[in-house]
Amino acid sequence: MDLAYLRAHPQHLPTFLTHQRIRETPVGGGVCNASRLTLDDGSSLFAKTWPTGPAPDGMFAAEAAGLAWLRSAGAVPVPEVLVALPEMLAMEWVEPGEPTPAAAAQFGRDLAALHRSGADAYGADWAGYIGPLPLDNTPSTGDWGSWFAARRLAPYLRTSADRGALSGADIAVVEQVINTIEGYGVPEAPARVHGDLWPGNLLWGADGRGWLVDPAAHGGHRETDLATLALFGGVPHLDTILGAYQEVWPLADGWRVRVPLHQLHLLLVHTAAFGGGYRSAVRAAADAALRGLPPQC
């Protein structure tokens, strides 16, 4: 199997793998099993499968749709999806490189261009996933705060509460953030966002560019992508990324105060998916978000 054959017959990839007709090397892949596949013509692919039985219904389709949508903007490098099947996703291999200051500055400019390419509404035209969990992408042309509270905070707060990952006091603080969401509003048109842009989903390529992988793509607020880049230790050269971004598209006043609010969604996803190990991070973000509210709220 070479790349030309794969493009014409993507449905045959699982069969070739089953019969060991393709060299397969395991690599890191988050919640999925991931591997590097080497074809007969020397081309490499990045492939992922669900580790236990069938993948959640629609998960790989959602990722493929998001990658294609981000890639269509022609702004940030995004791997081309070559195989999108219910049981497997395969895309072009990106040779890893180093996170240099020059690459960080280029990524900042690229990310601003991606966000500026926009979206028709908050949400997306496809059912979403974020990590192992469904993501409600029902489109909305209303205000961002109401959409973010209803689609990005409340569902994962409920799941976190149901699994006992948050205390009653934690839940009350997050609910207070949800109930005062209108106080954070900085009206902007929907941006084209990655949606799950923690540092592990920014791949530094050997070509000197930052590549976007593993998206939960949708129309959202651009500050969300920038805020989540600072999570879990932060992406290398974050200040350089932010500086280059602002040269292209300056952020609204007070954006730093709103960082914890934007981070709260992804942190709640972690308590919903993985449990109480992330409880203190949720509480810290919610407390900080409340401190950042204007006095009249």
41 contact partners, CB below 8 Å, separation of at least 6: 2, 3, 4
Residue 297 has a pLDDT of 42
Tens-digit pLDDT profile for residues 130-149: 999 999 999 998 999 999 99
| DSSP-assigned beta bridge partners for residue 35 | 26, 47
Q: What is the largest CA-CA distance in the chain?
A: 66
**Mean confidence (pLDDT) of the chain:** 94
Give DSSP secondary structure letters for 3-66: HHHHHH-GGGHHHHHHTT-SEEEEE--TTSEEEEEE-TTS-EEEEEE-SSSSPPTTHHHHHHHH
The count of structural domains within the chain is 2
**Tokens at 2, concatenated:** 């070479």
- For residue 51, what are the β-bridge partners? none
Do 137 and 237 fall into the same domain? yes
CATH code assigned at 59: 3.30.200.20
- Rounded distance, CA 135 to CA 155, Å? 9
The 10s digit of each residue's pLDDT in 221-238 is 999 999 999 999 999 999
In angstroms, the CA 252 to CA 254 distance is: 6
How many whole angstroms from its chain centre is CA 269? 11
Which residue range is the domain that position 76 belongs to? 3-92
Same domain assignment for residues 45 and 152? no
For every one of its 297 residues, what pLDDT tens digit does the chain have, with 9 covering 90 and above?
889 999 999 999 988 888 777 888 989 767 899 999 999 899 999 999 998 878 899 999 999 999 999 999 999 999 999 999 999 999 999 999 999 999 999 999 999 999 999 999 999 999 999 999 999 999 998 999 999 999 999 999 999 999 999 999 999 999 999 999 998 877 899 999 999 999 999 999 999 999 999 999 999 999 999 999 999 999 999 999 999 999 999 999 999 999 999 999 999 999 999 999 999 999 999 999 999 887 644
Where b means 16+ CB within 10 Å and e means fewer, 85-101 reads beebbbbebbeebebee
Place of tokens 């592990």: 200
pTM here? 0.94
Domain CATH for 190: 3.90.1200.10
Domain presence at residue 296: no
